[in-house]
Amino acid sequence: MPRVDFFTILPNASAEAVDLLGKMLALDPDDRISVSVALEHPYVQECRYPEGEPIADHIVEVDASEEAAVTLDDWRELIWEEIQIFNASSSHRDSLDNFDSTSTLFKEQDSSAVDKSDWSDEELRKVI
């Protein structure tokens, strides 16, 4: 399966954000960025507070509950479910993006010709 171009999924994301995301989501663990390297990435430099970011000097063991995915098939199922949820929410966002809110408010009027200075906050929110 070819790798998805994150710019098509996140068209407004910066190149640095997409670069970090791609490195964090690499399927092969050997290709995946480590936490310490991710914290050095240019995308997170503005919001870093290194003194508040302790890094363990050993592998942290995580207790897996009985319900945790333990087999490859379990992980595949969980990932598939997440993809379905993401696709459903993306479809919903796309339909909202394609909805022209001005057409319902102005009907056939030219929206630039309408004086909006005396509109209520609710009316303005409908247009934005």
pTM of the model: 0.47
Residue partners of 41: CB distance under 8 A and separation at least 6: 16, 19, 20, 23, 33
- pLDDT for 95 beyond 90: no
- pLDDT for 103 beyond 60: no
Alpha helix ranges (H) inside 43-117: 72-98, 101-106
Name the pLDDT band for 115 (thresholds 50, 70, 90): low
The gap between the terminal CA atoms of the chain, to the nearest Å, is: 39
Name the pLDDT band for 93 (thresholds 50, 70, 90): low
